[in-house]
């Protein structure tokens, strides 16, 4: 009898088994299905933060999810960048990278704790702010050639301000120095705003920075723009020549920004973010907002982006070596 009961129980179990097998696992939620955190590795209120928040607003509209901007400043953008590199590679933490965090830090810092090419996947570049050469209004030079002549007449007398040693603003100034073949002295400050204030107070003679930072003081006449470090003249400075027009084609520099994610982020998510990115940088309303700040969108394919960054690394490595720039 016991054997019969056991056999019956086994048979009953076999018959019922198909009825209790769980259905197929629910497919993963489509990306994105919750808020996205965007790390801006610089303080609130600066150019990176302003452009980053504009981008975050557009990304939120497209994705249908809130994009929360987190300013994680410190150590020339290293802290925020490192936080992003260590984040879960699931598309819900993205980095708003800059020229400094993507290229310059690794060029001038021998012990930077991340390798951008190793630790991140570049989604795309988004915006570019060409640099201009601006001088204090009390300096007698009216043109870039006049300024260069002054510098050659008295080597080591004229000074240029930067946002700090190893910053893209110093690199732009050094590029001008070597490109023009002049001896001017670097004076570092703790950020772009203090550097501009020093220029307004006649503490220094010039700077090479993006127009978005200097625009108001140029329009008011407190600073004088002499040349544009870009491939073409700027719409907001139509009368200011490029260095290329002045016979100095090697002086091309800018501050630029881009989006990246931790390197192990699934390819499907990377492609989705690239789709959003492409739509944003082609959006006329977004482009118009950038133009108001003297900033242009960057429209490049992933291959062109990789080539652009490689070119920037080579260029700034050469300048850092010539100027003996190294930040501990």
For residue 75, give the CATH number of its domain. Answer: 3.40.190.150
pLDDT digits (tens, 9 = 90+) for 124-179: 999 999 999 999 999 999 999 999 999 999 999 999 999 999 999 999 999 999 99
pTM summary value? 0.87
Torsional class of 74: left (φ above 0), alpha (ψ -120 to 50), beta (otherwise): left
- CATH number of the domain residue 209 falls in: 3.40.190.10
Percent of the chain with pLDDT over 90: 84
pLDDT exceeds cutoff 50 at 226:
yes
Say whether both 99 and 51 belong to one domain. yes
User: Is 240 inside any structural domain?
Assistant: no
Confidence of residue 13 (pLDDT cuts 50, 70, 90): very low
In this structure, is residue 10 part of a structural domain?
A: no
Beta bridge partners of 69: 38
* Tens digits of residue pLDDT in 258-313: 999 999 999 999 999 999 999 999 999 999 999 998 899 999 999 999 999 999 99
Within-domain flag for 97? yes
In a domain, 3, yes or no: no
Q: Residue 46 — very low, low, confident or very high, per pLDDT cuts 50/70/90?
A: confident
**Separation between Cα atoms, residue 214 and residue 6, nearest integer Å:** 88
How far is it, in rounded angstroms, from Cα 63 to Cα 36?
9
Q: In terms of residue numbers, what domain contains 214?
A: 130-229
Q: What's the pLDDT tens digit per position in 79-138?
A: 999 999 999 999 999 999 999 999 999 999 988 999 999 999 999 999 999 999 999 999
Would residue 241 count as lying in a domain? no
Domain for residue 22, yes or no? Answer: no
Q: Catalogue the E-assigned strands of 171-253.
A: 185-188, 206-210, 223-229
Pair (119, 161) in one structural domain: no
């Amino acid at each position: 009898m016991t054997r019969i009961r056991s056999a019956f129980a086994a048979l009953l179990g076999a018959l019922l088994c198909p009825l209790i097998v769980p259905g197929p696992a629910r497919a993963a939620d489509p990306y994105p299905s919750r808020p996205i955190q965007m790390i801006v590795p610089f303080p609130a209120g600066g150019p990176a933060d302003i452009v980053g928040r504009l981008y975050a607003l557009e990304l939120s509209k497209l994705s249908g999810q809130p994009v929360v901007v987190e300013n994680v400043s410190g150590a020339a953008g290293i802290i925020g960048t490192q936080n992003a590199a260590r984040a879960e590679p699931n598309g819900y933490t993205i980095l708003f990278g800059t020229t400094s965090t993507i290229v310059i830090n690794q060029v001038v810092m021998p012990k930077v704790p991340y390798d951008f090419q190793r630790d991140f996947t570049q989604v795309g570049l988004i915006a570019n702010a060409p640099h201009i050469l601006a001088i204090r209004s009390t300096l007698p030079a009216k043109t870039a050639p006049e300024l260069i002549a002054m510098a050659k007449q008295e080597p080591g007398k004229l000074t240029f301000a930067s946002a700090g040693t190893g910053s893209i603003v110093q690199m732009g100034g050094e590029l001008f120095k070597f490109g023009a073949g002049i001896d001017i002295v670097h004076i570092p400050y703790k950020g772009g705003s203090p550097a501009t204030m020093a220029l307004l107070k006649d503490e220094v003679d010039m700077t090479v920075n993006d127009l978005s930072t200097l625009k108001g003081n140029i329009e008011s006449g407190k600073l004088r723009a002499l040349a544009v470090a870009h491939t073409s003249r700027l719409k907001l400075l139509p009368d200011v020549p490029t260095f290329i027009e002045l016979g100095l084609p090697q002086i091309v520099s800018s501050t630029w920004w881009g989006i990246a994610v931790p390197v192990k982020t699934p390819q499907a998510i990377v492609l989705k973010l690239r789709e959003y990115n492409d739509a944003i940088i082609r959006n006329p309303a977004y482009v118009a907002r950038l133009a108001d700040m003297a900033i242009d969108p960057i429209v490049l394919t992933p291959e062109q982006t990789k080539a652009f960054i490689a070119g920037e690394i080579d260029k700034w490595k050469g300048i850092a070596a010539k100027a003996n720039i190294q930040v501990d």
